[in-house]
Amino acid sequence: MDRELLLKLKNHEVSFHEIDKTVESKAAIELRRMAVSELTGKQFKHIDKFSFDVENVTKRNIENMIGAVQVPLGIAGPLRVNGEYANGDFYIPLATTEGALVASADRGCSAIRACGGANARLFKDGMTRAPVFRANDIIGAKRLVDWVNANFQRLKEKAGETTRFGRLLSVEPFITGRSVFLRFSYDTKDAMGMNMVTIATDAAVDIILAENEVELIALSGNMCTDKKPAAINAILGRGKTVSADVILSREIILEKLKTTPDKMAEVNYRKNLIGSARAGSLGFNAHAANIAAALFIACGQDAAHVVEASYAITTMELTDEGLYCSVTLPSLPVGTVGGGTGIGAQQECLGMLGVAGAGDPPGTNAKKLAEITAAAILAGEISLVAALAARHLAKAHAALGR
């Protein structure tokens, strides 16, 4: 331990990030952790324990690292998925600290599997970035929109120079006075793609600025929209737009869920539909974000995108057989390469689902993960709605740690 450097850290003579330039990564982590320990008076017994590759993580995923936070990992399933990309039985890794969540998801998986599995289909796939420009007036704004429409192929070629796999699909303009928002949408294959589309759009912007009398105000103008509640994502989609459904038989609902199709349908109608509408919610579901967050954390996804996953709409309709159940996610940004997907534990969880790394052909693993995620969220919706219908929610949380 370099006591002199430690003292400089504590006295703020050297910043936390500067020591990475003078000592190797493991030593830098230890020095920062020791400095924080002495500055706060807290002895750390847990955050220094981890198994991932420090060199890779500190270069790609984290700054000023002092350790790692462990999140308990549970398993639900098997969940049978009948998708275009995901076919078979899957064990769903869920990282959470919420008691009863994994048990609930597991019960939903069991009900779905007993009824032949959940269908899953992808309807749209496009990651967005929307820079905002200022024109001189609305005449200049219209001129920019016309230019973009006439020069889409050039923008596509310029953006394509920055990425091997990304491909510009469309540029949709939105005008407010002399502010012009251009919503670029890309196919990003197996990457979730936010960094990819940011870099590609930045390159395309250079052509726009060179040939138009406008000023770039921000590369992201919040019409994208990432990591914030936004109706545009619920309507137009961002990332993967995916749905899953299943018909639960009356017998399975009685046996496994301890309630009836009629009660579940009414809970969904009055809670997920009327209740959400009355509250002005963008999502019409029971707890889609719960399953999405646990799966995202386990599989190295950007956890902030749970905001967008929460736009899910859950429907339940009575049928002759029992109950038709579906979940639709208009905006599900997921990927199997890049970000946190390469970290050891997260890569193992992706491997458990058969989606680690790039797919063959490219893009198939991310699409497979989207279908599995939708089916897992459907399992969570079914179980919670049933628990509410049977008035078992409080009992389950009391028994399983809440």
Q: Are 210 and 184 in contact (CB under 8 A)?
A: no
Residue 369 structure tokens = 């993960």
Q: How far is CA 367 from CA 116, 227, 335, in A?
A: 21, 20, 8
Q: Which of 30, 48, 98, 321 is catalytic?
A: 98
Q: Which of 1-5, 38-42, 253-257 has the lowest mean pLDDT?
A: 1-5
Q: Look up tokens 């969940």; give the residue.
A: 79
The pLDDT, as a whole number, for residue 262 is 98
By C-alpha distance, which of 301, 299, 366 is closest to 73? 299
Question: What does the alpha-carbon distance between residue 360 and residue 132 come to, in Å, rounded to a whole number?
Answer: 36
| Chain segment 101-158, per-residue pLDDT in tens | 999 999 999 999 999 999 999 999 999 999 999 999 999 999 999 999 999 999 999 9
Q: Which of 20, 302, 371, 381 is catalytic?
A: 302
Is the omega angle on the peptide bond into residue 333 within 30 degrees of 0, that is, cis? no
Q: Are 301 and 190 in contact (CB under 8 A)?
A: no
DSSP symbol at 274: I
The verdict on whether 53 is a catalytic residue reads: no
Rounded to two decimals, the pTM is 0.95
The pLDDT, as a whole number, for residue 3 is 86
> Mean pLDDT throughout 178-182?
98
Q: Which residues pair with 216 in a beta bridge?
A: 133
The verdict on whether 302 is a catalytic residue reads: yes
Q: How far is CA 290 from CA 100, 295, 296, in A?
A: 11, 9, 10
> Mean pLDDT throughout 324-353?
97
* Longest Cα–Cα distance in the chain: 76
For the chain, give the mean pLDDT: 96
Q: Which of 87-91, 280-284, 340-344, 397-401 has the lowest mean pLDDT?
A: 397-401
The verdict on whether 245 is a catalytic residue reads: no
Residue 2's pLDDT band (cuts 50, 70, 90): confident
Question: What does the alpha-carbon distance between residue 109 and residue 140 come to, in Å, rounded to a whole number?
Answer: 55
Residue type, 175: I
Residue 179 structure tokens = 């502010």
> Mean pLDDT throughout 200-221?
98
Question: What does the alpha-carbon distance between residue 238 and residue 232 come to, in Å, rounded to a whole number?
Answer: 9
| Chain segment 95-105, per-residue pLDDT in tens | 999 999 999 99
3-state secondary structure of 245: strand
Question: What does the alpha-carbon distance between residue 126 and residue 258 come to, in Å, rounded to a whole number?
Answer: 40
3-state secondary structure of 275: helix
Radius of gyration of the chain (CA): 24
